[in-house]
Homo-oligomer: A and B are copies of this chain.
Amino acid sequence: MDIAEELGLSVSTVSRALNDHPNISAKTKEKVRKMARKLGYRPNAMAAGLRNNKSRTIGLIIPRISMFFPAAITTVVQNKLQEYGYHLIICQSNDSLEQEQQLVNTLYSARVDGLAVSATLSTTDFSHFDIFKQHNIPVVFFDRTPKDYQAKVIKGDDFVGGLTATEHLIEQGCRDIVHISGPLTCNLYVERLAGYKSALQQHKVPFKKQRVFFHELTRENALATAGKIFAQQPYPDGIFATNDTTAITLLQYCREHGIRVPEDVKIVGYSNDPRTEIVTPSITSVDQFPATMGERVVSALMDLIQTRHPAGYRHPQEIVPTQLVVRDSSAGSPKKKK
């Protein structure tokens, strides 16, 4: 360290001075700090990390940063961690299991102090996270969470979300409701589907298998499904799509094909993507409170870093509530004009 040389002190004294160690006299501290400023000294985080066995860095794995919901969470996670003096290494799995596995390994190599993960659509086996478990490094799953892998889980209330969305459609007079679900390998779609079914049952609306579609929720797939739905009469009078991209795409399809929303068919999306607010008609959607979720993720992480838990510890699952935001796409009764 040049500061030490320059001042004729030992590196240990300098190190302690910079870290405000009590054993160092006020004068030396002042001298050292001054020289540090003068020389533009910046500690080497890698060296410190190596020595301390911690990096003050958190790894984040999400399917893609361009999707609204994970992006919104990422924003707050990042800002929150910044406040705590932690870095965030953000990685995209691009919804590929293989990439996810690889990322877990390289993030372990980077010796992140914790990991926050929203899994791939197809991740059902979570054993590639074992390496973090083995080394007792905190892992927090959010949104797309494992079903029976023991780890901290923070998720939206997907059952209730699915239930309220469907119930709302029923209350608005719908009796033939299409459900567009993601692949059931992903747990949250299982629960939304369960919510959908439960709502139907509670209101004695018959469940029809052919009214439920499963596929990755991309624009292309949504268009294909729209084609199928409206290929033949009778049209459904309600559609509950489990993401907003799908809902928006369906809305556009309807517009182009002269199907009136909400008069002919009502639409509800999921996630409360800001886009739902700006389309015409605006789309009813289920808010998942990404900010809250992000904050909870960081809190959980910081907490787990502070107080490690024994190997078999069962982390309590946190559920972030959900709220239906009613907009024009589901307004009024089917017969009445808005």
- Chain A residues packing against B (C-beta within 8 Å): 40, 42-47, 49-50, 55, 57, 64-66, 71-72, 74-75, 78-79, 82, 87-92, 94, 99, 105-106, 108-111, 131, 134, 248, 252, 274-275, 278-280
Report A219 CB to chain B, min CB distance, Å: 10
CA distance A40 to B75 in the complex (A): 33
Query: Do B252 and A45 touch across chains, with their CB atoms under 8 A apart?
Result: no
Query: Do A75 and B92 touch across chains, with their CB atoms under 8 A apart?
Result: yes
Query: Do A65 and B55 touch across chains, with their CB atoms under 8 A apart?
Result: no
Query: Do A90 and B78 touch across chains, with their CB atoms under 8 A apart?
Result: yes
Closest to A72 in B: B66
Across-interface contacts of A89 in B (CB, < 8 A): 57, 87-90
CA distance A72 to B228 in the complex (A): 32
Report A221 CB to chain B, min CB distance, Å: 17
CA distance A82 to B106 in the complex (A): 10
Q: A55-B46, A90-B88 are in contact. Are A131 and B40 (CB under 8 A)?
A: yes
CA distance A239 to B92 in the complex (A): 38
Q: A42-B109, A248-B278 are in contact. Are A75 and B64 (CB under 8 A)?
A: yes
Q: What 14 additional pairs, Cβ within 8 angstroms, besides A44-B50, A46-B49? A: A40-B131, A42-B105, A42-B108, A46-B111, A47-B50, A64-B75, A66-B75, A71-B71, A75-B92, A82-B91, A87-B110, A275-B275, A275-B278, A279-B280
Question: Which 4 A-B residue pairs are closest in the complex by CB-CB distance?
Answer: A280-B280, A46-B49, A45-B109, A46-B46
Report A151 CB to chain B, min CB distance, Å: 18
Scoring A91, A110, A248, A275 by chain B CB atoms within 10 A of each residue's CB, the highest score goes to A110
CA distance A57 to B112 in the complex (A): 13
Q: Determine which of B65, B92, B105 lies in contact with A65 in the assembled complex, contact meaning CB atoms within 8 Å.
A: B65
Closest to A65 in B: B75
Across-interface contacts of A79 in B (CB, < 8 A): 92, 94
Q: Determine which of B45, B66, B94, B280 lies in contact with A71 in the assembled complex, contact meaning CB atoms within 8 Å.
A: B66
Across-interface contacts of A82 in B (CB, < 8 A): 91-92, 99
Across-interface contacts of A74 in B (CB, < 8 A): 65
CA distance A279 to B111 in the complex (A): 45
Q: A64-B75, A278-B248, A278-B278 are in contact. Are A87 and B106 (CB under 8 A)?
A: yes
Report A292 CB to chain B, min CB distance, Å: 16
Closest to A90 in B: B90
CA distance A55 to B87 in the complex (A): 14
Q: Determine which of B78, B110, B278 lies in contact with A279 in the assembled complex, contact meaning CB atoms within 8 Å.
A: B278
Across-interface contacts of A274 in B (CB, < 8 A): 275
CA distance A40 to B82 in the complex (A): 31
Scoring A46, A82, A87 by chain B CB atoms within 10 A of each residue's CB, the highest score goes to A46
Across-interface contacts of A40 in B (CB, < 8 A): 131, 134
What are 27 pairs between A and B in contact, CB < 8 Å?
Answer: A40-B134, A42-B109, A43-B109, A44-B111, A45-B109, A45-B110, A45-B111, A46-B49, A46-B55, A50-B50, A57-B110, A65-B71, A66-B71, A78-B90, A79-B94, A82-B91, A82-B99, A87-B89, A87-B91, A87-B106, A89-B89, A90-B90, A248-B278, A275-B278, A278-B278, A279-B279, A279-B280
Across-interface contacts of A46 in B (CB, < 8 A): 46, 49-50, 55, 110-111
